[in-house]
Amino acid sequence: MMVERAFGVLKQCFRVLRYVESTSLDKIKHIILCCMILHNLCINMDDYTEVQLNLDLLDEAILEPDEAADKREIREKFFRNLMRDNMY
């Protein structure tokens, strides 16, 4: 659930993430990593326009557990690997 919320926040801040599904997996990794870096830089520099999130809408957009189990597992593994590979 936290991964979906975190990605929802990034999607609201960076519209490019709404259209990454039509690109290669390698390019998707770079786009997501860049968005995460920019997001953290803005927070660290106190130069961040707060995005008003409607968490109820984010929750509604999340699929039911039976429908989303495989997709959620794939996304979580993708993000774990992305973070692991780019930590240092």
* β strands within 1-88, DSSP E: none
Give 51 or 69, the one with higher predicted confidence.
69
Confidence of residue 65 (pLDDT cuts 50, 70, 90): low
Q: What are phi and psi of 7, to 5 degrees?
A: -70, -35
Distance CA 68, CA 70 (A): 6
Q: What is the mean pLDDT of residues 29-58?
A: 70
Q: What total number of domains does the chain contain?
A: 1
pTM score over 0.75: no
pLDDT given at position 45: 79
User: Which DSSP category does 57 fall into?
Assistant: H
How far are the Cα atoms of 23, 36, 56, 77 from residue 87, in angstroms, in the given order?
Answer: 24, 12, 31, 15
* Structural domain containing residue 9: 2-85
pLDDT given at position 16: 79
